[in-house]
């Protein structure tokens, strides 16, 4: 990683659940976390309302700084 110029990460960042709500049959969980460098990262996780177990995939994601990469 030193050759890529990335600083080492000592521990995992604290993940914060910013909000949790139901929208059109989906449970939406908005999360954020921040590494010791760069802008905070935010993400939304979607799950069918009432579904049990882990999500298979999520249709939305963003890079640090809020730039959308999938819609």
pLDDT higher than 60, residue 67: no
Strand partners, 24: none
Task: Return d(Cα 51, Cα 62) in angstroms, integer.
Answer: 24
pLDDT (mean) for 58-70: 54
Task: Return d(Cα 6, Cα 23) in angstroms, integer.
Answer: 38
**Residue 47: closest CA among 39, 37, 55, 59:** 55
Most confident range (mean pLDDT) of 9-13, 42-46, 54-58 is: 42-46
Distance of CA 60 to the CA centre of its chain: 9
- Please tell me the pTM assigned to this model: 0.61
Q: What pLDDT score was predicted for residue 13?
A: 84
**Using CA of residue 58, residue 63, residue 69, residue 71, what is the dihedral sign?**
positive
């Amino acid at each position: 990683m030193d050759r890529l110029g990335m600083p080492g990460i000592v521990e995992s960042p604290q993940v914060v659940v910013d909000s949790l709500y139901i929208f059109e049959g989906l449970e939406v969980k908005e999360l954020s976390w921040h590494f010791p460098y760069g802008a905070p990262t935010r993400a939304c996780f979607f799950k069918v309302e009432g579904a049990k177990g882990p999500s298979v995939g999520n249709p939305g994601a963003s890079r640090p700084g809020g730039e959308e990469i999938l819609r």
